[in-house]
Structures are given as C-alpha cells and as structure tokens.
Structure 1
Amino acid sequence: MESRRLRIPLISDQHRENVIIGKKVNNSTQAKFPTCRPALRDLSNKIGSQISNNGPSKNIVKKPLVKAIPNIDSTNDKINKLKISTNKVETNTTKNKPVKPIAPPKPLKKQESLITIPPAYSSKQLVIYDPDENTRKDVCSVTEYVEDIFSYLREMEAMYKIEKDHLEDHKTTPSMRSTLVNWLIELQINFKLNMETSHMCVSLLDRYLQVKKDIGRETLQLVGVAALMIACKYEEVYIPEVSDFVYVCDDSFSAREILAMERNILATLKFGLGKPSSIHFLRRYSKIARADLPQHSLAKYLLELALIDYEISHVPPSYQAAAACCLAIAILTDEMDLSKIWSPTLVHYTTYKLSDFRHIIRRFAILLDREEKSKYQAASVKYASASNYKISTNPKLKCKLVKKLLLEKN
C-alpha cells in the first residue's frame, strides 16, 4: 500500500462536501433508508424493504559610466579625487546636449494574473484568468503544487484504468452490478460516509471484477462490502465495525469471510489504491469554472448516476468530471451553447477540449432522462434533500438542452 498520499488541494468553502455548519435541513426531504437490507434482494438473499422516493524578468545590470580603478587606496583624499574626475566626465559628455525632461511615471493599474493565450484563441483575444489568484496565500490550498498534483493524478488514472466491457463473458451481469452499486450508495448515506469513499469503493469493485471473471451472484455482495470496508479505511477517520457490515448484509456472510475477501482484493490489486476519483477532479474544475453551489451539486449528482451506469464505468474520472461540470453549469444557466461554458481557461487548465468529452455529456443527458423511471433511485433520493439543494427534483433537468443532446448522434 502506498505509504503516503498526495494532498488534494482544497477549494473554497462553497465546494466542500459533507460539512454543513449551522444549516437546518428539512427532515421531510431527507432520505429514509433501511438499516438492514441485502443488496441483491431480487437475485439472492432475503427480500428487504424498498427505499422511498511566463518567466521572471531578468534583472538588467547597468554599466557604470567610469570603470572602477583597481587597487584604490581607502584614504579619503584619493576617493574624493575619483569622485571629482567622474563628475567631469559626466559634464563633458552632456555639455552641449539639451536635457529632456523626464515624464513622471503613469499610475499602475491593478493587474490581473494573466497566462499566455494558446494560439487557437489568440485571434479572438480571450483572457485566461488565474483561478488560484485569491488562494495564493492559503497554505492549505498548496497552489504552488496544484499543476503537478493533477498531472500526477491523470497519470494514476491511466495506470489503474478500467477496460471497456469488462463484464463481457463474466458471471456478473451489468444489471447485477447496478443493483449492488445502488445499494452501496445507500450504505454511504446510512453510515454518513464521505463521497470519496463510495467513489473509491466502486472503483475497487470494477477493477477487481475485471480480473476475477468467476464472481457471481453468490459472492458479488461480499466483494462489494469488502471493497467498501477498504475504502473506509483509506478515506474515513472513523470507520464502521466489521459487525456493522455483517448486519447490513443480513448475516449472509460472516466477519471471517468479509476479512478474507478484503485480503483477496488487496492481493489481487497489489495494494494499488492510488487511483483518483472523479470528485477530486470535479472540485478543481468547479473552482476554475467559478461554479456556484447548486451547479456543483448537480455535477456531483451526475457523477453518482455515472457510478451506477455500467456503460460509463470505463471512462476516466477526469473526463467524467469535465463533462459533469460543463453540463451542470449549462443546465442551470439555460445556456444552449456548451462551447460558451467550456471557456479557454478551462481548456488551458484541464487540457481537455469540448470535443474530447461531448459524447460523455450526451450519456449524462440520457441518464437524466431515464432516471425518473429507473429502479435505481438511491442517488435521486439522496440529492432530493435540502442539503443538496433538492437538485434531483429541479425542473431544469428536463430543459431544452437535455432534449437537444438526446437527439444527437454518437
């Protein structure tokens, strides 16, 4: 296991999840989840209750008018003679020339931190602003290392990638996976875990399943619970006990079996737990795009829908975050032209163009259109709460932009 973890740079308070201070939440909108229910109730175990609805300028060294004389004595007489001779040279050179008055310097305007504009946008004279200008003095933001950190994270997501159609010729079907992930999101809410925990859990699940082709309905829930326990140990400060995981599985598996599966997952993945999740990239992209809280919440909702969807599970997290950020801002600002949302600043810092992930945006539109009739409602119920701005019930989710994206061809 990696001995040290990178510090993900913090962003402003408006984009921090899981901490709500001094904010009352209407209990009627909170999701009420069962405390004990097996994940694959329609496939195995007992049937439980359903859930409710540029570089620094070089210093210019000025040459003196008179070269220094070597081996000058330090006596006052000789120093004075040197000064007199210097003044004579200066007056002789400027004796017959008129002296131009020096204009006073113009007052400096408040400068913005600008970055060199890429050639593609130089003709349009578009400004690329610095998103970290206001957090340069914030030690927790580690702005001097931000670019290096996210460059490293993109390398890690390529190292621990998930293959497309990784459940092909597998005992586990996409429907079984979606049912399990929907249940894992319920556990994340029930145990009050961080978003990073559920994202990491699903990542471990998919990476393990693409190696182990013999995992079927008998042990799929066991793999999911063990992956969640690993993610809790990696992300959480206080983790649920093993007995809690036994309870939520309706005693279908013992504590010894869960711990044995935990060791199996770690050995299979060779303790490679450093893959970043889409929420890490989303926080950075929301800061660059200057997204507000409802827009950031909608983007998080889209990413949770993506966790359940098998068709998008192979897409790298950074691409998912870029698509979710762009679509969320466009929906809530009633903007039909996505190129106006994905500005040159976002292109510069994310290194992604709109054409790189437009097909993912269309997939998100399909998920929004199907969600009302979907049987996987954990994410919708979660984001129907007041703490998440009731974003899953926002009527703008059925706007003209979503309908336009549905008509586009892949």
Structure 2
Amino acid sequence: MCRKGIYDCVNICMYCWGSSKDVWMKMLSKESRYVHSSNILKNHPTLNPDMRSILLDWLIEVAEVYSLHRETYYLAQDFFDRFMATQKCINKSMLQLIGVTSLFIAAKLEEIYPPKLHEFAYVTDGACSEDDILQMELIILKALNWELCPVTAISWLNLFLQVSSLKESPKLLLPQYSQEQFIQIAQILDLCILHITSLDFQYRILAAAALYHCTSIEVVNKATGLDMESISECVQWMAPFVNVTKRSPSPKLKWFKKVQSEDRHNIQTHTNYLDMLDDVKVPDSVVGESPVSIGGILTPPKSTEKTPF
C-alpha cells in the first residue's frame, strides 16, 4: 500500500526535522506498545461499563469547562483505561479520583496553561482533595511505567484528515481540512470511546472507521493506507453509533475565550452523550453481555452545578 501522502503529512507535522518514514513507523509501533482492552473491568467486580461511560462523559464536561484540547481528554481516557487494566478490585468511590487525576496529568502534558491543581479538586466538589490528586498522580504514573505518549484516536483523525486534504502548496502550520468536518467525525469518536468495547480496536482503526463513515473508502485508503478488509469489523461495530449521531443535531463550532479561531475545533466539547449512548444498539455478538444498569449512581454534574460522584 502506498503511504507517500502519509509520509508527506508526517513531514509537515515534524517540520522536516526527521525522516517521515521513521516517524510514521514509530507512530505505528505505539499501537503494540500502548495496549488497551475491553476487559479492563474483569478484575473489578464492583464496577461495570456504565460507570466508565459516566466518568468519561463527566471528564468531557470538565474539559469543556476549562477549554481543554481534545487531545488532553483523549490522553486522560487512555491513562484511565490503561491504569485500570493494571489494578484489581478498585472501588467505585475511587473512580472520580482516578479520572480527574488522569485529566490532571494529561493537561500538564498537553496544555500550555493547564488548570491549577486546586481547580481540578474544585470540580469534584470536595470529593477529592489536592493531596488526594497528588498521591493518585504518583500511583498512576508508576502503574503506567511513565508511558505517557500514546497516539490517540483524535491524533490519528487529525493526521488522516490532513493527509486527505493535502494540496501541492500547503500552509504547513494550519489544518487543510474543514473544521466542521472535523468536529462531525470527532463527535462520532467521542460517543464511541464512551462504550467499553471501543477498546477492542486500535485507535488508528477507530479513527479510520469514523473517517470512512463520513467520507469514502477511497479517502480512507489515501489517508491511512488501510483497505476495507482492515477496517470492516470496526466499521460494522461503529455503524449504530454513527446512526445515533446522524439523528442528533449537528455539532457546531463554539467560541472559547482566548482560543484562536483556527484552533476552535481542537477544544473538547460536551453534548448529551449519555442520552445518545442509551440509543446505541450494538449487537450482542459484538459486545457480549449487555452492560448492567447502575440506576443513576454516579450521575455526572452539570457544568455549573458540580456535585460529587
């Protein structure tokens, strides 16, 4: 498969500081280095997939409140899921602390001006203290062996869209794709990542499948080097999520204070994802047993009404 377009785009992203082929191969190698699985809760008998969905939805909301980038949220999601895979018998009362600490770590890595520690404690409305977050930060970092640089699904989407939109004389520092198209596909990924079975797919495959649902296999092949056979399972799994997003109002670009217009699409935004997730009908043959309802426990707080889990 020809990946010339991908190499060209990687060169753009790296400003020609290194070999684009080497950079591309290193990105691919992270798919086997940063492993995730939908079985992350098997060693946590008191937890179920709905609890993870509610926590991640809340993190999306916190990310929007503080105008955090999508990459920050997706890093936090990856840290949370990989951390849970290393642990046993985590109690549900610890989930919010693990989640907000994952976001705290991600923000320090990704944001130029990350929120302060006290702001992360504040959004838990007293459920997590600053000391709690600092202690959990060390626990998470040690459990992850300081492996903090995955290529997230949203990073792959950014790369794939840039490749698919390359022109002969591109403006290297700006995205060549439509911001509206990006947030449309990003909404699909946001919804998908809330479902625990999304972890059965590599992030690259998730991004490619979402791109396929909004474009065509020709675009996917040009941008990713993947053919239909490589993404067909994920495309089929993702179809119910796409159908739900199509029935919902189209996402709109939002204005954020101190965020430049060309960066608006990269800020994480929240919508009624949990309601949308309730409408997703994933075949049992794909997900196995259906998640157990938790009856409103862990209801996430509204942006202006922070309440503890």
Higher helix share: 2
In structure 2, the residue matched to 1:219 is: 94
Counterpart pick for 2:20 among 131, 139, 146: 146
2:65 aligned partner: 190
SS at match of 2:86: coil
Provide the residue aligned with 1:274 in structure 2.
149
| Residues 381, 206 of structure 1: alpha-carbon distance in 2 compared, 3 angstrom cutoff | farther
Alignment match, 1:310: 196
Does residue 369 in structure 1 map to residue 243 in structure 2? yes
The match for 2:292 is none
2:144 and 2:8 map into 1 onto residues whose CA distance is 39
Change (3 A) 1:368 1:241: same
2:187 alignment counterpart: 301
Cα distance in 2 for residues equivalent to 1:284 and 1:139: 9
* Alignment CA distance shift 1:381-1:243 (3 Å): farther
CA-to-aligned-CA distance 1:229-267 (integer Å, 9 cap, x gap): 110111111111111111100101211111101110001
Q: Could you say if the C-alpha distance between residues 238 and 381 of structure 1 is closer, same or farther in structure 2, counting changes exceeding 3 Å?
A: farther
Unaligned runs of 5+ in 2: 166-176, 255-263, 273-281, 287-309
TM-score (norm: length of structure 2): 0.71
- 2:163 equivalent in structure 1: 288
- Describe the shift of the 1:144–1:273 C-alpha distance in structure 2 as closer, same or farther (beyond 3 A): closer
Whether 1:178 aligns to 2:41 is no
Output the CA distance in 1 between the equivalents of 2:133 and 2:153: 27
Q: What TM-score do the two structures reach when normalised by structure 1?
A: 0.55
Q: Deviations over 1:250-296 (max 9, x none)?
A: 10121111110111000111111121111221122112222543332
Q: Which has the larger radius of gyration?
A: 1
Residue 158 (str. 1) matches residue 36 (str. 2): no
1:296, 1:328 within 8 Å by CA — same for their partners in 2? Answer: no
| 2:196 is the counterpart of 1:328 | no
Mapped to 2, the partners of 1:193 and 1:382 lie a distance apart of: 21
* Deviation, structure 1 residue 143: 8.1
Tell me, yes or no, if the aligned pair for 2:211 and 2:220 is still in contact at 8 Å: no
Check if 1:237 corresponds to 2:115: no
Paired AA for residue 215 in structure 2? I
Shift of 1:381: 8.6
Q: Distance in 2 between matches of 1:225 and 1:294?
A: 29
- Aligned pairs for 1:10-409 within 5 A: 130=5, 141-142=15-16, 145-170=19-44, 171-290=46-165, 292-330=178-216, 339-343=217-221, 345-346=222-223, 350-370=224-244, 383-385=251-253
C-alpha contact (below 8 Å) 2:9/2:162 kept by paired residues: no
Unaligned runs of 5+ in 1: 1-116, 119-127, 331-338, 374-379, 394-405
Q: Return closer, same or farther for 1:178/1:286 CA change in 2, 3 Å cut-off.
A: same
Q: 1:296, 1:325 within 8 Å by CA — same for their partners in 2?
A: no
Retained in 2: the 8 A contact 1:319–1:357? Answer: yes
Cα displacement (A) at 1:131? 6.6
1-structure distance, mates of 2:183, 2:145: 34
CA pair 159-131 structure 1, distance change in 2 beyond 3 A: closer
Fraction of identical pairs, as percent: 24
State whether residues 182 and 308 of structure 1, in contact with CA within 8 Å, keep that contact through their aligned partners in structure 2. yes
* Aligned positions, number: 251
